[in-house]
Amino acid sequence: MRIRMLTVVLLVAVLSGVAYADARTDAKEQVEFGIAVAQRGLWKEAIYRWERATQIDPNYAAAFNNLAVAYEHEGMLEKAGEAYERALKLEPNNPMVRQNFELFKEIHDRTTNQNQSQTP
């Protein structure tokens, strides 16, 4: 009985590992395609690819980072902020994500301050 249970647990662990690896491989393909199109200036297509990547693998920090960059380029600053935060939550010590986020915050804070200083 115990051996059967152990076998089942092991099988589940191995299969989920394989599924995780598959998800990461699929997501990585989307991310790479997104980078290629972004480099050609096709940012909308890149957004579609990176959104797909985050759906396939919600733990893929690079996909969230790239998505944040694309949102920023398209002026969707709120969405960009959320995506950067998600990327940093997944990889808090990634220096590239941190650097992107710092640069983003500089612009975001500036626009926020501008809106606050206005009077009706």
Q: From the CB of 96, what's the least distance to another protein, in Å?
A: 4
Q: From the CB of 57, what's the least distance to another protein, in Å?
A: 13
Spatial CA neighbour of 21 closest among 54, 53, 57, 52 = 57
Using the minimum distance from each CB to another protein, give the nearer residue, 56 or 97.
Answer: 97
Q: CA 85 from chain center: how many Å?
A: 9
Q: Please report, as ranges, the residues that interact with another protein according to CB under 8 A.
A: 28, 31-32, 35, 38-39, 61-62, 65-66, 69, 72-75, 77, 94, 96-97, 99-100, 103-104, 107, 111, 114-115, 117-120
Q: How far apart are CA 43 and CA 37, in angstroms?
A: 7
Using the minimum distance from each CB to another protein, give the nearer residue, 5 or 117.
Answer: 117
One-letter amino acid at 5 equals: M
Q: From the CB of 76, what's the least distance to another protein, in Å?
A: 10
Radius of gyration of the chain measured on its C-alpha atoms: 19
Using the minimum distance from each CB to another protein, give the nearer residue, 45 or 74.
Answer: 74
Using the minimum distance from each CB to another protein, give the nearer residue, 2 or 78.
Answer: 78
Q: How far apart are CA 113 and CA 21, in angstroms?
A: 44
Q: From the CB of 17, what's the least distance to another protein, in Å?
A: 21
Q: How far apart are CA 48 and CA 38, in angstroms?
A: 11
